[in-house]
Structure 1
Amino acid sequence: MISSTPFPNPISTRQAKRYCVFLLASVLFLVLTWECLYVYKNSPDIQRSINSLAGRSPAKPFAFVTMLLASSVTADENNQPVQDWYYNATRLLVYRLSHYPETKSKFPVIVMATRGVEDWKVEQLKVDGAIVKVVDPLYAQDVVDNVNDMAVLDTRWSRMFTKLRIFEMYEYERLCFVDSDILPIRNMDEVFDVREQTSAYLSSFELLNKLRRFLDGKRFREDFSAYDLRRKDFYPYVFAAVSDPGSWHDTPPQFQDYFNAGLFVFHPSTAHYKRLMTLARFPKMYDKANMMEQSLLNFAYSSAGEFPWQPLDWTYNGVWTRKSDLAYLKNVHGKLWQEEGSMGYDPDTSSLWWRAFREMDHFYKEHYSISAWQAH
């Protein structure tokens, strides 16, 4: 006689394994489905292919953009003209992106020059092939509520918030900002192939990151009414940059959750410009503006915030370049025209910049009968 029991028969080990496999397969299927939807929604390559098949061209162009500030020193103690090395570096950047075969881009190059840059420099950059946009500079005292809350404030750095004005270039769909002291050594057009982030679609990796940040208590929330905007007004957005490895690093460097603002890809946006200008008022929120606009951008696009940044491959911004990095990098970043050793650059890295400068000088003499050393 079989006795009845109020408890069901226990699940066998084999059945339990089957249930686990089924559950894992279901989760994997859902994740892959979500990823496929995400890729379809956000992949630049797929969207370009769809537009091409449909006979549609992008509504707005892509471009590289750099910034040139008016030089604060134009003559030495003997009243002799001095070289404006940031201008020279800007010309070299334009040359490399517009003319040099190994680094020439299919995208235009914009130089955002502040009012006060000499007219002859503006005209020369146009001859070199750049689109020049002259803007009024943004001084720290015009942006920050209380400059005494800032860690550093000197003549040149006080104008670095001017970089934020590139977010006003609404006629472009996507821009890649490049510091003028960056030297392209390989083509970098693929830097634009980054995801466009929408509010509706997040990758599974980003969803897990959001959950992790929430559980860690690191996520901060913003009151969007402070900008007189709604959260959805900020989408879609793009912001991608290269992790800053620090002066001493391995090759390849380890990822740091802090980016260098010498090169980043973004989507110009009224909402994001307004947000940045609002956040900029309070430097105590972003490390007392210790690194000026870099500190602000790292705060605004923090991985713990509402609009997390996307990492670009480290090869796009060789900040603190080491000799072992050169075989991989697309760009070398640093004031390499300075005396060897003054910023920790080794001779091999510095020689790259000087060789490129001489190549540019030869190119302009041959094509325009103008020397790269020309000074007015």
Structure 2
Amino acid sequence: MMISRLKLSGSHIFSQRYPIIAIATFIFVLCLLPFRNRISLSGVFPSTVPLAHSKYAYCTFLSPDTQATGNSLDNEDHYFTGTRMLIYQLLHDPVTRTTSSIPVIVLVTTDVPQSTRDRLTKDGATVVEVSPLSFDWIKPGRERWMRVMDKLHVFELVEFEKILLLDTDIIILKPLDAIFDEAAADVLPNLGKAAQIHADEAPQPPTYLMAGIGDSSKAKGLNAGFVLLRPSLEIYHHYLSIAAIEGRFDGAWPEQDLWNYVHSPDGNMPWKPIPPHWTANSPTYQDYENGISSVHEKYWRCEWDQKLRAVLLKSRFEMEGYWKGIGLDHK
């Protein structure tokens, strides 16, 4: 796994009595040095989620909700609750949980409290703190999106072949494991069109994966809330180089606008649509009745469709009941 620092304790390993252990430890440290600047993991790997044995991962991103003022349904941090709901549905809910031991990773910004991280770790997730990625020219359309460019750190998780990146307002209704086997999840070659290569951008990777569904508010555009991707340091640096160029993309929807620029249908790495049964933006109760696997909708809103809202709230109450039932319902 990616490690930013290594702490050694117990000076006895360097004593003459244990020369072999000392040499082995020294070699181990040297092997880890190339990884010292990459993102660090916090918390303990849950024994039920063996990260080292999975090719795939589920991932979400959490930053503090500046508008949250309490714990009631009207003023709690809904994105924290939504993150907990995702973890519950992906790891514990018998109806929706992974059957392939696929881990759940939560990327958190530096200002997410330790108590929040501890709760997510107890819920079964692996919590990864990510450093801020700031681009002064980018002006998000909403205050809530000020930190979403930090999501790009997901591409540094190169120990995984594929990752499904989910927003915290995704509600899961059916298992998602099979999405990694979809044709749309295949890694594709860069098309290599010379006209789509720009000298002021870092090199494009030779292969890539970017798949999802269209955004309901932008014609033909990829929605950033439900994305299948392949981690790659090459594409990570490609993204960063583009984000540093003022005006290269819109920026009101920061990471989404960046991805739609890089993965334009006319570019070298066009994004691919996944089958529509996997998720829906602006869903209705009819989508639920038709067997949709997940919906992209805020459970605390959805006033326009009371039947669907009841389904979404049920997911929240099931999560809370599960943790209360095993005596771990404290936050």
Cα distance, 1:61 vs structure 2: 2.0
Work out whether 1:354 is the aligned partner of 2:316.
no
Q: 1:119 aligns with which of 111, 114, 122?
A: 114
Work out whether 1:265 is the aligned partner of 2:228.
yes
Amino acid at match of 1:158: M
Cα distance, 1:167 vs structure 2: 1.1
CA contact (8 A) 1:71 1:117 kept: no
Q: 2:276 aligns with which of 308, 314, 330?
A: 314
Label 1:189 to 1:224 Cα distance change in 2 as closer, same or farther (>3 A).
farther
Deviations 1:296-333 (A, max 9, x none): 11111111001111111122221100222222311011
Cα distance, 1:284 vs structure 2: 2.6
Separation in structure 1 between the aligned mates of residue 63 and residue 240 of structure 2, nearest angstrom? 19
Amino acid at match of 1:243: G
The correspondence of residues 50-65 of structure 1 with structure 2, limited to 5 A, is 61-65=55-59
CA contact (8 A) 2:141 2:253 kept: no
Label 1:271 to 1:95 Cα distance change in 2 as closer, same or farther (>3 A).
same
Deviations 1:143-182 (A, max 9, x none): 24x34xx4x4543222111111111112221111000100
Separation in structure 2 between the aligned mates of residue 331 and residue 310 of structure 1, nearest angstrom? 18
Amino acid at match of 1:122: R
Separation in structure 1 between the aligned mates of residue 311 and residue 287 of structure 2, nearest angstrom? 13
Q: 1:195 aligns with which of 179, 186, 191?
A: 186
The correspondence of residues 157-176 of structure 1 with structure 2, limited to 5 A, is 157-176=145-164
The correspondence of residues 356-375 of structure 1 with structure 2, limited to 5 A, is 356-371=315-330, 374=331
Separation in structure 1 between the aligned mates of residue 126 and residue 242 of structure 2, nearest angstrom? 30
Deviations 1:167-218 (A, max 9, x none): 111222111100010000011112112211135xx8xxxxxxx9xxx9xxxx
Q: 1:104 aligns with which of 73, 97, 104?
A: 97
RMSD: 2.5
Residue aligning to 1:5? none
The SS at the match of 1:285 is coil
Separation in structure 2 between the aligned mates of residue 365 and residue 240 of structure 1, nearest angstrom? 37
Residue aligning to 2:135? 143
Separation in structure 2 between the aligned mates of residue 226 and residue 299 of structure 1, nearest angstrom? 12
Label 1:323 to 1:220 Cα distance change in 2 as closer, same or farther (>3 A).
farther
Separation in structure 1 between the aligned mates of residue 195 and residue 153 of structure 2, nearest angstrom? 26
Separation in structure 1 between the aligned mates of residue 164 and residue 313 of structure 2, nearest angstrom? 24
The SS at the match of 1:89 is helix
Separation in structure 1 between the aligned mates of residue 215 and residue 161 of structure 2, nearest angstrom? 26
CA contact (8 A) 1:283 1:289 kept: no
Separation in structure 1 between the aligned mates of residue 233 and residue 54 of structure 2, nearest angstrom? 15
Residue aligning to 2:211? 240
CA contact (8 A) 1:173 1:268 kept: yes
Q: TM-score when scaled to structure 1?
A: 0.66
The correspondence of residues 325-336 of structure 1 with structure 2, limited to 5 A, is 325-326=287-288, 327-336=290-299
Q: 1:66 aligns with which of 60, 66, 81?
A: 60
Cα distance, 1:74 vs structure 2: 5.1
Gaps of 5+ in 2: 1-51
Deviations 1:105-128 (A, max 9, x none): 121110111111111111111111
Residue aligning to 1:85? 78
Separation in structure 2 between the aligned mates of residue 283 and residue 179 of structure 1, nearest angstrom? 26
Separation in structure 1 between the aligned mates of residue 164 and residue 196 of structure 2, nearest angstrom? 27
CA contact (8 A) 2:54 2:103 kept: no
Instruction: Report % sequence identity.
Output: 26
The SS at the match of 1:240 is strand
Q: TM-score when scaled to structure 2?
A: 0.75
The SS at the match of 2:208 is coil
Residue aligning to 1:223? 198
Work out whether 1:280 is the aligned partner of 2:280.
no
Gaps of 5+ in 1: 1-57, 203-209, 248-255
The correspondence of residues 203-214 of structure 1 with structure 2, limited to 5 A, is none
CA contact (8 A) 2:141 2:252 kept: no
Pairs aligned (count): 271
Work out whether 1:291 is the aligned partner of 2:253.
yes
Label 1:350 to 1:74 Cα distance change in 2 as closer, same or farther (>3 A).
closer
More helix by share: 1
The SS at the match of 2:256 is helix
Separation in structure 2 between the aligned mates of residue 158 and residue 239 of structure 1, nearest angstrom? 23
Separation in structure 2 between the aligned mates of residue 303 and residue 275 of structure 1, nearest angstrom? 18
Separation in structure 1 between the aligned mates of residue 217 and residue 142 of structure 2, nearest angstrom? 23
